[in-house]
A = this chain, B = another copy of it.
Amino acid sequence: MTHRVTIKDVATQAKVSYQTVSKVVNGQAQVSSETRERIWQAIHDLGYRPHITARNLRVGASHMLGYSWRSVPSDQFNPVLDKFLQSMVEAAEKSGYHLLPFPCPPDHAQVEVYRELIFSGRVDGFVLSSTNLNDERIAYLLDTGFPFVAFGRANPEWDFPYVDVDGTAGLRVATEHLLSLGHRRIALIAWPGESLTGKFRVQGYLEAMQSAGRLVDPDWIARGEHSALFGEIVAQRWLDLPADQRPTAIIALSDLMAIGVMNAIQERGLEVGREIAVVGFDDVPMAQYLRPPLTSLRQPIWELGQQVIAMLIKLIRNVTLEERRVLLPPRLVTRASSGTGAPG
């Protein structure tokens, strides 16, 4: 590297003061069209590019948006990361921002890391994910007034901007789908009660059952850890019931658990889709390759990424948000695992 070409080089080349070059670069009006062209010419000739760090220092912004996510254990999959990141990166770029992915700190150190990023001027805002009910980060950021948008909800008493998948709507649609196929005993595999995301999804199931006038047997809702094994164990338990009492359809709150369910069913020699319907959530890429292919709810990840960044940038620019709470419904992708009608 010989010597970085700066605004001053352009200025001498174009025979103006360097501040005038700045005006041209930033599209300010106070320059005659002749000199403007002369300056652009010089910029082009010299291959000048504004130095972002200097600009950022001057304007007091980093044009960076912080994001960290929890890595999933390697026996699981993160179905959304690729698309979500791409979406955010692209949306940010369009507005002159970049994403700063930082290592997800251990729970107790969360806030400290966010503090650090704020006070070192590294980021202008945050995208939060993996939010939980009383998320410390949200509490902290609300307290300091630093711009952020969450991907996921939290304590309903708090007023903060978020985008989220409408799990309630998703499960309502999935349940209605099964009901319309004639299923009456529809079971649900959910997460522990602490899970907020789980709560919303269960609610959609309950709503759909209720408005169809179906009573829900509490035994039809199983709660446990997010794993294929748990899905398998629960399904086995249900399959032990006499045929006229056991569920004819099982919804799992994730594809991972749904896969466990499918494996349990097939090990009993039963046919998924014909004898027992299975529905998952996430629509992981693999869902379509399972045998039978898995009916699942696909999250509008791209749109969520676009929204979350658009909102965050508005927040940073002090534009008021017309929508502080955005819920986007997932789409039911119907495949063979949910069958064509209830048995019997």
For A327, the chain B residues whose CB sits under 8 A away are: none
A30 at interface, CB cutoff 8 A: no
Q: What is the CA–CA distance of A48 and B288 in the complex, to the nearest angstrom? A: 53
For A100, the chain B residues whose CB sits under 8 A away are: 98-100
Q: What is the CA–CA distance of A251 and B271 in the complex, to the nearest angstrom? A: 29
Q: Which of B51, B89, B291 contacts A101 (CB 8 A)?
A: B89
Closest to A81 in B: B82
A75 at interface, CB cutoff 8 A: yes
Q: How far is the CB of A23 from chain B (nearest CB, A)?
A: 19
**Interface pair A71/B82, CB less than 8 Å apart:** yes
**Interface pair B77/A89, CB less than 8 Å apart:** no
Chain A, range 69-85, C-beta contacts under 8 Å to B? 71-72, 74-79, 81-83, 85
For A82, the chain B residues whose CB sits under 8 A away are: 71-72, 78, 81
**Interface pair A101/B103, CB less than 8 Å apart:** no
Closest to A72 in B: B82
Copies in the complex: 2
A343 at interface, CB cutoff 8 A: no
A198 at interface, CB cutoff 8 A: no
Q: What is the CA–CA distance of A99 and B50 in the complex, to the nearest angstrom? A: 21
**Interface pair B51/A120, CB less than 8 Å apart:** yes
**Interface pair A286/B77, CB less than 8 Å apart:** yes
A266 at interface, CB cutoff 8 A: yes
Taken residue by residue from 107 to 137, chain A's Cβ proximity to chain B (1 for < 8 Å, 0 otherwise) reads as 0000000001001111000000000000000
**Interface pair A86/B98, CB less than 8 Å apart:** no
From A54, A72, A86, A288, residue with most partner B Cβ within 10 Å:
A86
A228 at interface, CB cutoff 8 A: yes
A263 at interface, CB cutoff 8 A: yes
**Interface pair B228/A289, CB less than 8 Å apart:** yes
Number of A interface residues at 8 Å Cβ cutoff, please give it. Answer: 54
**Interface pair A119/B49, CB less than 8 Å apart:** yes
**Interface pair A75/B228, CB less than 8 Å apart:** no
Closest to A267 in B: B291
Chain A, range 35-85, C-beta contacts under 8 Å to B? 47, 49-54, 56-57, 62, 71-72, 74-79, 81-83, 85
**Interface pair A102/B121, CB less than 8 Å apart:** no
Q: How far is the CB of A142 from chain B (nearest CB, A)?
A: 15
Question: Would you list 18 pairs from A and B whose C-beta atoms are within 8 A, ordered by A residue?
Answer: A1-B145, A4-B121, A49-B119, A49-B120, A71-B82, A74-B83, A74-B285, A77-B77, A77-B79, A77-B286, A86-B103, A93-B102, A98-B122, A256-B289, A260-B289, A266-B291, A284-B286, A286-B286
The interface of chain A, by Cβ under 8 A from chain B, is 1, 4-5, 47, 49-54, 56-57, 62, 71-72, 74-79, 81-83, 85-86, 89-90, 93, 98-104, 116, 119-122, 145, 228, 256, 259-260, 263, 266, 284-286, 288-289, 291
The 6 closest A-B pairs by CB, nearest first: A49-B119, A77-B285, A286-B286, A49-B120, A78-B82, A71-B86
